[in-house]
Structure 1
Amino acid sequence: MKNIKWIFVLYSILALLSMAGIGVAVGLRSGLGILSAVLLLCLIMGMGFKKKKEMREAGIL
């Protein structure tokens, strides 16, 4: 692994923070917080997979 793809590092950190947000929302017993954190996690993961597909098709990965 020679080159670090910083966009994927960013996506993984954002996904990690979203997962932590789920834990915080569960601790606070906030249904809306749980739902919003799960939706945010799905959005971030989807964006990461989409970017990976685009880069693979462009021959960058």
Structure 2
Amino acid sequence: MQEIKWVFVFFALAAFLSMCGIGIAIGAQSVIGILGCTAALLLIMGFGFKTKKRWREEGKL
């Protein structure tokens, strides 16, 4: 049985919430909200992929 990597659960949840934020901002017609949530999504996903690569290189995955 595999162990849960909670940091990746956090990254996935944060990315999901950013995507929801984009939808809410579109509904509210807020360009600043759309841009902010899109930037947050890109940063969160980038950190997630970077962390996964680093952990794989260190043999933690």
Band the TM-score falls in, shorter-chain normalisation = over 0.9
Q: Letter of the aligned partner of 2:46 in structure 1? A: G
Structure 1 unaligned spans of 5+: none
Letter in 2 for 1:14: A
How many pairs does the alignment contain? Answer: 61
Deviation string for 1:15-61 (max 9, x for gaps)? 00000000000000000100000000000000000000000000011
| TM-score normalised per structure 2 | 0.97
Using the aligned pairs only, state the percent identity. Answer: 54
Under a length normalisation based on structure 1, what TM-score does the superposition of the two structures give?
A: 0.97
Cα offset for 1:2? 1.1
RMSD: 0.7
Alignment-derived partner of residue 36 in structure 2: 36
The one-letter amino acid of 1:21's match is G
Residue in 2 that maps onto 1:15: 15
Stretches of 4+ aligned residues off by more than 3 angstroms: none
